């Protein structure tokens, strides 16, 4: 079982990456983490629309390896803190390069059913409030859909300015349960 993790967390040892670690420790198997803040040689999408006509991207850079890893993955995990009610800018710039998969709608070559399983992990610094994670949820769930990935669920940690997985064992348990759900889906 191979898992591709894409994380948009600026802090290497922050809450988002702690959630990713707990998830992967529970899931097991092989994994690769693409860190949007530390990814090198990945240009932004330039909306040239090459992918509207051909499967692939006109830009050949570090994203070629990300595409290869995605194609080999059984699972995709997306993780980000919320910055102004959505995912981080670095993660969004990387996600925009997945336009090549969305363009399958235009090319009429989207797979008929999901090819892999997915999960979403999000962190918000503010105390919990209605729709706190809605912006991130919309972006990440739609990305999973365009990547032909079935979303098995999401776990959100609010109030991370004061809370953590240690102070919120209920959230840690949700992370473990989502990883176990993904593991069971692969068996």
Burial of residue 115 (number of CB atoms within 10 Å: 0-12, 13-18, 19+) = middle
Find out whether 117 and 149 touch, Cβ atoms under 8 Å. yes
Predicted confidence (pLDDT) per residue in 52-106, tens digit: 999 999 999 999 999 999 999 999 999 999 999 999 999 999 999 999 999 998 9
- Secondary structure element (H or E) that encloses residue 146, with its range: helix 134-146
Predicted confidence (pLDDT) per residue in 25-57, tens digit: 999 999 999 999 999 899 999 999 999 999 999
Beginning with the edge strand found earlier in the chain, give each strand of the sheet holding 30-35 in spatial order. Answer: 30-35, 2-7, 75-81, 116-123, 149-157
> Per the structure block, which two tokens stand in for 11?
């802090």
Find out whether 95 and 41 touch, Cβ atoms under 8 Å. no
Predicted confidence (pLDDT) per residue in 122-141, tens digit: 999 999 999 999 999 999 99
| Local structure of 142: helix, strand or coil | helix
Instruction: Report the pLDDT value the prediction gives residue 187, as an integer from 0 to 100.
Output: 79
How does residue 186 score in pLDDT terms, banded at 50, 70 and 90?
Answer: confident
């Amino acid at each position: 079982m191979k898992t591709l993790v894409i994380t948009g967390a600026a802090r290497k040892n922050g809450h988002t990456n702690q959630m990713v670690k707990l998830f992967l420790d529970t899931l097991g198997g092989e994994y690769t983490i693409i860190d949007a803040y530390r990814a090198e040689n990945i240009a932004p999408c330039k909306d040239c629309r090459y992918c509207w006509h051909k499967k692939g991207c006109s830009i050949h850079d570090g994203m070629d390896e990300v595409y290869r890893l995605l194609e080999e993955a059984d699972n995709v995990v997306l993780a980000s803190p919320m910055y102004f009610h959505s995912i981080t800018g670095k993660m969004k710039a990387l996600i925009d390069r997945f336009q090549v998969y969305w363009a399958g709608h235009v090319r009429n070559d989207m797979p008929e059913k999901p090819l892999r399983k997915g999960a979403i992990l999000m962190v918000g610094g503010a105390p919990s409030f209605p729709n706190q994670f809605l912006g991130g949820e919309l972006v990440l769930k739609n990305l999973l859909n365009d990547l032909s990935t079935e979303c098995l669920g999401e776990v959100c940690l609010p109030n991370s300015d004061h809370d953590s997985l240690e102070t919120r064992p209920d959230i840690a348990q949700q992370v473990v349960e989502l990883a176990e759900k993904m593991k069971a889906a692969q068996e």
